Amino acid sequence: MGLLKKTTGLTGLAVSANPHHTLGALYGKILRTLQKMPENAVYRKHTEQIVRERAAVLQQTKDVSELEQKINCGQAEELIIQAENELNLARKMLTWKPWEPLVAKPPKGQWDWPPAQQ
């Protein structure tokens, strides 16, 4: 296991003392939140896949720099911010329920892309 780095090199982002623990806790919370959504919800399916993949890498990798390299989405401290943001979004999605039918029928052409020429 490598030595704890002195800085992230990013202004305002302090080094995490225990990124494995923090990420593990956050990934667990995200997965528990996703379990409350319908299994066929697109957000749940895709987010669950990403979080499970990252959690598996976290379990298999003890060295922080190796973890960062394998996940390839920033430093551990940035991964923590990403996980916190995802947890907040997942909790909001439970309130918003985007998997439920629309209350009113959308206007004609609402979901067409590219938009029809006029």
What is the pTM for the complete model shown?
A: 0.87
- Count Cα neighbours of 57 within 13 Å in the Cβ-side half-sphere: 21
pLDDT digits (tens, 9 = 90+) for 23-44: 999 999 999 999 999 999 999 9
Q: Provide the pLDDT for residue 118.
A: 60
Alpha-carbon dihedral angle through residues 84, 88, 89, 90, given to the nearest 10 degrees: 100
What is the band of 7 on the pLDDT scale with cuts at 50, 70, 90? very high
Q: pLDDT tens-digit profile of 54-89?
A: 999 999 999 999 999 999 999 999 999 999 999 999
Torsions phi, psi of 16, nearest 5? -80, 130
